[in-house]
Amino acid sequence: MKKLMVVAGAAALVGMIAGCASTREVVQKEYERLTSLPAAEQVVSPNKQVNDVGRASSDLYNVCHAKLKNYVAATENHREFTGFMNDVQIVIKDEGLSEEDAMAKVCALVQDEDKARPDAEKVWPRILEGWAAANALDPAKQLAEVANLVIRNQEIVNSANDLPNSFANEDLMSKAQRGAEAAKIGEQAAETTEMLLFLGEQFRRVQKLKTYK
């Protein structure tokens, strides 16, 4: 995937939002980390309960991972849109604004800066091109599916937390191995949670951006 660039242009949002350099770096790195996550492999165990939860966890992870990759594929060639979405996150973090107010502020900043740009360099039309690509994924449907996946993932988290009961009577070495397997399943479920939170945020903002279109 191309390296993330915050909204392009000679007078981009870089510097327009005061005091956000450190947050910008954090948000960019987190975006790149999440969108670069690999597909999951199942945690395989001789313990049937651990094995079953491991299979359920990896299956769900990979469903979410496929959704994440579809979103990235739709938007990765629209760096202005990606930068815009990240700048909304920066304003939320730095200024404590609601998602709606942060989006309104960044939209206004971009559109105001565009007044001084020649048509060929205007950023807002490029943001809208990225919005159209993301909107084509049907954000309302995606959000409904994400909500169901969140419920399924919480069930897996609960099952993973209960796994020590399934190997309580095993020998010390086996317990250690099963514990490591259960911990890996927990880490996998945590990454699934991160993907779902990211997708939820992105598709909510895609829907809200329609207001400013």
Closest CA to 196 of 141, 147, 135: 147
Could you tell me how far CA 105 lies from the centroid of its own chain? 22
**In the numeric block, which tokens belong to residue 184?**
């890996």
CA distances from 199 to 15, 106, 116, 155, 204 (A): 27, 20, 34, 19, 8
What's the average model confidence in pLDDT over 54-65? 98
pLDDT tens digits along 60-77: 999 999 999 999 999 999
pLDDT tens digits along 95-141: 999 999 999 999 999 999 999 999 999 999 999 999 999 999 999 99
Q: Which pLDDT value is given to residue 20?
A: 52
Can you give the length of the chain in residues? 213
Q: Which pLDDT value is given to residue 90?
A: 92
Q: Which pLDDT value is given to residue 86?
A: 93
Predicted confidence (pLDDT) at residue 21 exceeds the cutoff of 70: no
Predicted confidence (pLDDT) at residue 46 exceeds the cutoff of 50: yes
pLDDT tens digits along 126-182: 999 999 999 999 999 999 999 999 999 999 999 999 999 999 999 999 999 999 999
Half-sphere exposure of 206 (CA within 13 A, CB side): 25
Separation of alpha carbons 72 and 134, rounded Å:
9
Q: Which pLDDT value is given to residue 1?
A: 32
pTM (two decimals)? 0.86
What are the b/e assignments for 29-44, b being 16+ CB within 10 Å?
eebeebbebeebebbe
Separation of alpha carbons 89 and 212, rounded Å:
17
CB 86 within 8 A of CB 7: no
pLDDT tens digits along 26-38: 888 999 999 999 9
Could you tell me how far CA 5 lies from the centroid of its own chain? 17
Alpha helices in 36-138 (DSSP H): 48-75, 79-95, 99-114, 124-135
- Cα dihedral 184, 187, 191, 196 sign: positive
Q: Which pLDDT value is given to residue 100?
A: 92
Q: Which stretch of 12-21, 34-43, 167-176, 200-209 has the lowest confidence by average pLDDT?
A: 12-21
Give every CB contact of residue 151 below 8 A, 6+ residues apart in sequence.
Answer: none
